[in-house]
Amino acid sequence: MTIEDIALQMTPGIGVKGAVHLLEIFGDARSIFAASADELVEKAQLRPEIARNILRKLGFAPADREILYCQRNGIRIIAASEPEYPPLLREMPDYPSVLYLLGEPEVLKSHCLSMVGTRRATPYGQSMCNRLVEGLAERIPGLCIVSGLAFGIDVAAHRAALAAHIPTIAVLANALPGVTPVQHAGVARDILEHGGALVSELHSQSKQNGNFYLARNRIIAGLSAGCVIVESPDSGGSLFTAHCADAYNRTVMAVPGRATDRSSAGTNHLIRNRKAQLVMSADDIIRELMWDLDINPESLHAKVPTPELTPAETRLLACFQNNDPLPFETLAEKSGTDPGELTALLIGLELSGAIRQLPGNRYMKL
């Protein structure tokens, strides 16, 4: 990474596509700033005022500040010209010229699969995230789940990856080291502690106006060989992610739902209109991505043994008759356990991977 890489991103008048255009012509950022006015205007066909911004090096002072900011916060800067830059992302016509990263850069080159969906996930959608990720983790070495750390399916996909002991990448619509939404800061820490990464194309001087979510979704789509939409209504960001994945020639897959469920209306329409392949299991995803053609059986993940539960934990777990979430009060009534002891048992079950806490002090069996 050079200061020119950052300066290109910060030069007034040069957006994402403008940076890609210049990099395609000149090869790297340093050559762009070494070009003459005639080369910038005639060869690159830039408007004279934008060419002047490059010649005057208006992006260098903010680039200096950004480099210092990243050094203070332990943020890795990866330019598109560097070997660490994910090759799949580089294939996009609107790839980010610079990525900002916390965590392990190696995961960017894993067997990445994007998994996204509605912010209003149902227990069915959360259960399907767990089922698909667990099945994939057992079959695919080097697997990494990519999502956006948003409420609903996104964070469920990250948590499913953490529970399956595989890395996961969260692509954020804000500058690092911040996390949006702040409620998921704990999940972000878990991602970093378990070999994953937080990624953003936004530098710290970006004006946060709430308009970066759709742009973020294109990176989620571009990082991965395929994209699975678990649940989605008729409109929403996950359908835009599916559109981007299709435009980038990625495999688009969708989990079907009941015809009457609003949360599955978008996924059902994608399948009906042949915009996505129907998937119901990890095997379906593996076949669609043709990952079964290069799997070495000796490299498959060993299934993590389930920790042995105490008799009290086993009795409490029996209160869950299905995958429907149960409120704390219902569990207290069913188990006949006082609140203090019940809280301790629930923590034990959650640490063992048997249940998961949901918003509203509800719990779901995994």
pLDDT tens, 98-127?
999 999 999 998 899 999 999 999 999 999
Q: Is residue 93 part of a domain?
A: no
14: containing domain: 3-81
**If you average pLDDT over residues 207-211, what whole number do you get?**
71
Q: Tokens standing for 328? A: 């704390």
Are both 239 and 341 inside the same structural domain? Answer: no
Q: Is residue 36 part of a domain?
A: yes
Q: Is residue 100 part of a domain?
A: no
Q: In total, how many domains does the chain have?
A: 3
Q: Tokens standing for 292? A: 């079964």
Length of the chain: 366
Res 303: pLDDT: 44
Q: What is the rounded CA–CA span in Å between residue 118 and residue 96? A: 25
Q: pLDDT class for 212, splitting at 50, 70, 90?
A: confident
Q: What digits encode the pLDDT tens for the residues 81-99?
A: 899 999 999 999 999 999 9
Q: What is the mean pLDDT of the chain?
A: 90
**CATH number of the domain to which 346 belongs:** 1.10.10.10
Question: Using omega within 30 degrees of 0 as the cis cutoff, is the peptide bond preceding 83 cis?
Answer: no
The residue written with tokens 């709430």 in the block is 210
Are both 161 and 219 inside the same structural domain? Answer: yes
Q: What digits encode the pLDDT tens for the residues 30-78?
A: 999 999 999 999 999 999 999 999 999 999 999 999 999 999 999 999 9
